[in-house]
Structure 1
């Protein structure tokens, strides 16, 4: 199972290196990593997606707390969250298929950020499922380049689980 960890750290040189070293020593792969300033000055939030079972993630969390600059570690995997990623995709879009590419971009509420005679660069922001879906749809045109951020996430203060609501909605309709 993939776990999403939200880690608050002091904004000091070498913190990310120490965390990455801990993961490497324990044999964990970090599938997604996003780092940026948090709400408090001098504190950064690291959002990581890590594969592992509950026990191994619990042990990893305990090890993270032993690192000097780590302030707080939350496994937010089962917590209702707002999750987003950013992806830039450069796709082949010549005169014969450009209209179809532009239509797909509109359907996914993405944006065209660059255009040439042979390509279109698309900016997509959304949850990880949206990233996979648009990538699959644009793949038939030929993808030239992709750049994708790691997942960022914040817990929902409302505690409303939108995935649960979507499943209820699907049963009703």
Structure 2
């Protein structure tokens, strides 16, 4: 199972290196990693997606707390969250299929950020499922390049689990 960890750390040189080293020593692969300033000056939030079972993630969390500069670790996998990712896609186009590529981008509420005679660069923001879906739709045109951020997430203060609501809506339909 993939776990999403939200880690608050002091914003100092070498913190990310120590965390990555801890994961490497324990044989964990970090599938997604995003780091940026948090709500307080001098504090950064690291959002990581890591495969592992509940016990191994619990042990990893305990090890993270032992590191200097780690302030708080939350496994937010089962917590209602708002999750987002950013992706840039450079897609092959021709005069014959340009309109179709632009239509796919519009359906996914993506933005065209660059255009040339033979490519279109598209900016997509959304949940990780949206990223997979648009890539699948555009792959038939030929994807030249992809740049993707790691997943970022914040817990929902409302406590509303949108994934649960989606599953209910699917059952009704």
Same fold per superposition (TM over 0.5): yes
TM-score, normalisation: structure 1: 0.99
**SS of equivalent to 2:103:** helix
Residue 162 of structure 1: aligned partner: 162
TM-score, normalisation: structure 2: 0.99
Residue 18 of structure 1: aligned partner: 18
What is the CA-CA distance between 1:115 and the residue it aligns to? 0.0
What is the CA-CA distance between 1:153 and the residue it aligns to? 0.1
Residue 66 of structure 1: aligned partner: 66
Q: Deviations over 1:134-166 (max 9, x none)?
A: 000000000000000000000000000000001
RMSD in angstroms over aligned alpha carbons?
0.4
Q: How many residues align?
A: 173
Residue 100 of structure 2: aligned partner: 100
What is the CA-CA distance between 1:132 and the residue it aligns to? 0.1
Find the aligned partners of 2:88 and 2:144 in 1 and give their Cα distance. Answer: 11
Residue 51 of structure 1: aligned partner: 51
Residue 5 of structure 1: aligned partner: 5
What is the CA-CA distance between 1:73 and the residue it aligns to? 0.1
Runs (5+) with no aligned partner, structure 2: none
What is the CA-CA distance between 1:94 and the residue it aligns to? 1.1
Hey, which bits of structure 1, 4+ residues long, moved more than 2 A? none
**SS of equivalent to 2:131:** helix
Runs (5+) with no aligned partner, structure 1: none
**SS of equivalent to 1:77:** coil
1:135 aligns with 2:132: no
Find the aligned partners of 1:84 and 1:22 in 2 and give their Cα distance. Answer: 26
Find the aligned partners of 1:108 and 1:102 in 2 and give their Cα distance. Answer: 10
What is the CA-CA distance between 1:170 and the residue it aligns to? 1.1
Q: Deviations over 1:17-54 (max 9, x none)?
A: 00000000000000000000000000000000000000
Find the aligned partners of 2:154 and 2:165 in 1 and give their Cα distance. Answer: 18
Residue 30 of structure 2: aligned partner: 30
Find the aligned partners of 1:94 and 1:125 in 2 and give their Cα distance. Answer: 25
Q: Deviations over 1:90-149 (max 9, x none)?
A: 000110100000000000000000000000000000000000000000000000000000
**SS of equivalent to 1:140:** helix
